[in-house]
Amino acid sequence: MDNLAISVRLATSDDAAALADLVNEAYAVEKSFVDGERTTADEIAEMTQNGVFLVLEQAGGLAAAVYLERRGSIAYFGMLSVRPELQGMGLGKRLVRIAEALAEAGGASTMTLRIINLREELGRWYRSLGYREVGTSPFNHRQAKQPCHFVDMHKDLAVAAALEAGLGAV
């Protein structure tokens, strides 16, 4: 994998179109239950006013990306996207861990995210990374073809870091 995605960096405004393409390609699986594209270059550019996109690059361009935003002691991440042909290689997990480390280094104690309830595999995957469900929110980002909602998840970063370091409960 190291020769696949050799660098991680913060996206710049020049990356907005490539990020929108990456996100839309990664989220194409949702077209069976929601209308339209997941995002636009304009939305990506607007989001960078409040947070940052971390990107993993490969020789041909962007391999994966995630949006990270600090909200006081809470950090939020979203739009985790991996090129479909690169999924299953650990890139998503790598980006989540980098986002968590950056958030914790910046003073965040909790990481939050939202997933659409119709993507059950995402809930299982995030639970395997230590996230737990804490509530639901209305889905109002795009027109849905069937009833759906967001599942809100979070993870206590300090406890997770202590457990990973082998320090037991804190």
Provide Rg for the chain, Cα atoms: 16
pLDDT band at residue 141, thresholds of 50, 70 and 90?
confident
CA distance 67 to 58: 18
- Residue 7: per-residue pLDDT: 86
Q: What are phi and psi of 26, to 5 degrees?
A: -70, -30
- Residue 164: per-residue pLDDT: 60
CA distance 30 to 17: 20
Reduce the secondary structure of 137-169 to three states and give it as a string.
EECCCCCECCCCEEEEEEEEHHHHHHHHCCCCC
The full set of domains in the chain, from first to last, is 7-164 (3.40.630.30)
pTM (whole model) above 0.75: yes
Share of the chain above pLDDT 90, in %: 79
